[in-house]
Amino acid sequence: MKLKTKILSVLALLIAGFVYYYVSLPAVNIHSVDFWYFIIFGIAVVTVIYAVRKRISPSEVKQSKMMKLMIGLIGAVVVVFLVGSLLSSPIINAKKYQKLLNVEEGKFTKDIEELSFDQIPILDKDSAKLLGNRKMGSMVDMVSQYEVDEIYSQINYNNHPVRVSPLRYANTIKWFTNWKTGIPAYIKIDMASQTTELVKLDEGMKYSTSEHLNRNIYRHLRFRYPTYIFDELSFEIDEEGTPYWVCPVKKYNIGLFGGETIGRVVLCDAITGETKDYKIDEVPQWIDHAYSADLLIRLYDYYGALKHGYFNSILGQKDCLKTTTGYNYLAIDDDVWVYTGVTSVSGDQSNVGFVLMNQRTMETKFYPVEGATEESAQSSAEGQVQNLKYRATFPLLLNISGEPTYFIALKDDAGLVKKYAMVNVQKYQLVAIGDTVSACEEQYHQLLVSNGVKEETEDTREVKEATGKITKIAQSVVEGNSHYYIMLEGSEDIFDVAVNKFIGIIRYNVGDELHLEYKEGEELHTVVNIE
């Protein structure tokens, strides 16, 4: 009978331990805080079971050698944990924390090229969510079973800034009825054009955050890599549009729990569950999120605040810098960089510069460009449309005419983008507003010229002539102005005629003879005179 009781006790202990592990999924790694909690929990359960079996009352604990041993063991584990936490902290290791991130000084106009209109991400994450939910609502065959996940990872896909997010099961019942086929699609949103696409897959995704049991992505990774401590997972697609989970693995460089960076990246196929394990310097080029934005910003805050030790960062705060209250993303050379401003810890209303951090390589560049904080720029933009009560999104830093410029989308109460603003970083009283990105940039350029920031550039293109019969003519409206696009006999060139400058063009039809004077462009030739 006693043997049977012991066996049952052991089984109960094993079951309790397995359930705890299956639900909490701690890494079997001394650097994992959750693993230490698991150990303490396990010892505590054994202690309780022993006390119940031996019928030891609280007053009898001191008389039991085994109870004192177990309680002492719990206390020893807790002490080691607390001491390890202290020895891993910035209080003792300020210099080591400060050197975790290598920061180079960059040159703004060299590193950040001017973007064309189709490359500027005009949407933030919240706006992307609205578009994604709207697209999902139009899919009658799916909307009752699935919803869009909240991830919306921003990636650089075929040199375009896009956000991608998988669908998820609407609830547990919908998972039970659809788990055999998996999740059939993901959302892809072009952040520049606002084009929203529901990408349907030939085979459904079997591994996601909304799966249960062993196909849950976190549980799948834990059972394959029991010792790995994973950072924030991101959802990405490769060049062919195949969905993957990008799973960074934490590396601890200081003591037991301190100096967190990324040492490896596990790539998991969202459809098949197949995984590949890469060292951080061997990660494929198309992956954009090896380092999370929050981790990079935390590392830069260590770099900026701990130059003269921990206590200086708290008390004297000499030469202490910190990042501003938000961040955004910038696509450069097929990588995604985190952008944020840098200001003093005193909390004044100006930046001493800004920083770009590569999410794949951790490469970090600081640009010493003094100017307004992002919040000040947002307030300036909102002030220009205060009668409309539009809200400004967190700015994106752009190179406009060689000037560091905050690009801001202005949204109404419904969260829809209505206007765009450009605010000069160094002279934030220079604010341009436009209904389109191109109109906003045109007004911004005029402001730069009229305020003496830039000299007006002279159009030095040669004036050429063309004569012939009209073979094609089409009308279009560009920024509220009518234009005629004309092709002449024997030529594949397209000539752009602004109706407000040459109203007589409306008299011409296909077959009419026309003589033009124009200046060459890449796609369109600008007409400067009609005879």
pLDDT per position as a tens digit, 158-174: 878 889 999 999 888 88
Quickly list H helices, 2-64: 2-24, 33-53
Max mean pLDDT among 105-114, 285-294, 364-373 falls in: 285-294
Instruction: Name 234's bridge partners.
Output: 246
CA distance 388 to 443: 20
CA distance 23 to 16: 11
pLDDT digits (tens, 9 = 90+) for 491-527: 889 999 988 888 888 888 999 999 989 888 877 888 8
Residue 331's nearest CA partner among 191, 231, 438, 234 is: 191
Instruction: Name 433's bridge partners.
Output: 421
Contacts of 140 (CB under 8 A, 6+ apart): none
Give me the phi and psi of 387, to 5 degrees please. -70, -25
pLDDT digits (tens, 9 = 90+) for 37-93: 888 888 887 787 777 777 777 777 677 778 888 888 888 999 999 998 899 999 999
Predicted confidence (pLDDT) at residue 480 exceeds the cutoff of 60? yes
Half-sphere exposure of 57 (CA within 13 A, CB side): 2
**To which residue do tokens 């605040």 refer?**
305
Predicted confidence (pLDDT) at residue 423 exceeds the cutoff of 80? yes
Q: How confident is the prediction for the chain on average, in pLDDT?
A: 86
Split at pLDDT 50, 70, 90, the class of 359 is: very high
Query: In this structure, is the dihedral angle defined by the CA atoms of residues 26, 32, 34 and 38, taken in order, positive or negative?
Result: positive
Quickly list H helices, 226-292: none
**To which residue do tokens 């279009």 refer?**
476
CA distance 331 to 160: 8
Contacts of 247 (CB under 8 A, 6+ apart): 221, 230, 231, 233, 265, 266, 267, 268
Rounded to an integer, what is the distance from CA 161 to the centroid of its chain? 11
% of the chain residues with pLDDT over 90? 31
How many residues are recorded in the chain?
A: 531
Question: What local confidence, expressed as pLDDT, does residue 487 receive?
Answer: 92
Question: What local confidence, expressed as pLDDT, does residue 479 receive?
Answer: 60
DSSP string, 124-137: -HHHHHHHHHHHHH
CA distance 501 to 415: 38
**pLDDT (mean) for 211-225:** 92
Contacts of 94 (CB under 8 A, 6+ apart): 306, 309, 310, 313
Question: What local confidence, expressed as pLDDT, does residue 274 receive?
Answer: 95
If phi > 0 it is left, if psi is from -120 to 50 it is alpha, else beta; for residue 179 that is alpha
CA distance 109 to 237: 31
Question: pTM to 2 decimals?
Answer: 0.81
Question: What local confidence, expressed as pLDDT, does residue 226 receive?
Answer: 93
DSSP string, 426-464: S-TT-EEEESSHHHHHHHHHHHHHHTTSSPPPP--PPEE
Max mean pLDDT among 328-337, 342-351, 462-471 falls in: 462-471
| CA distances for 350 relative to 258, 270, 343, 469, angstroms | 32, 44, 7, 60
**pLDDT (mean) for 6-16:** 74
Question: What local confidence, expressed as pLDDT, does residue 348 receive?
Answer: 65
Q: Is beta strand 103-105 parallel, antiparallel or unpaired with respect to 364-367?
A: parallel
Split at pLDDT 50, 70, 90, the class of 391 is: very high
| C-beta atoms surrounding 307 within 10 Å | 16
Instruction: Name 519's bridge partners.
Output: 463, 526
**pLDDT (mean) for 395-403:** 85
Q: Are 131 and 189 in contact (CB under 8 A)?
A: yes
Question: What local confidence, expressed as pLDDT, does residue 58 receive?
Answer: 73
Q: Are 76 and 42 in contact (CB under 8 A)?
A: no
Predicted confidence (pLDDT) at residue 459 exceeds the cutoff of 70? no
Rounded to an integer, what is the distance from CA 398 to the centroid of its chain? 17
| CA distances for 456 relative to 280, 401, 410, angstroms | 47, 11, 28
pLDDT digits (tens, 9 = 90+) for 237-256: 998 889 999 999 999 999 88
Q: Are 423 and 381 in contact (CB under 8 A)?
A: yes
Residue 287: DSSP 8-state: -
**pLDDT (mean) for 109-116:** 76
Predicted confidence (pLDDT) at residue 217 exceeds the cutoff of 80? yes
pLDDT digits (tens, 9 = 90+) for 17-49: 788 788 888 888 999 888 888 888 888 877 877
| C-beta atoms surrounding 32 within 10 Å | 19
Question: What local confidence, expressed as pLDDT, does residue 397 receive?
Answer: 86
Instruction: Name 354's bridge partners.
Output: 341, 367
Split at pLDDT 50, 70, 90, the class of 117 is: low
Q: Is beta strand 417-424 parallel, antiparallel or unpaired with respect to 258-269?
A: unpaired
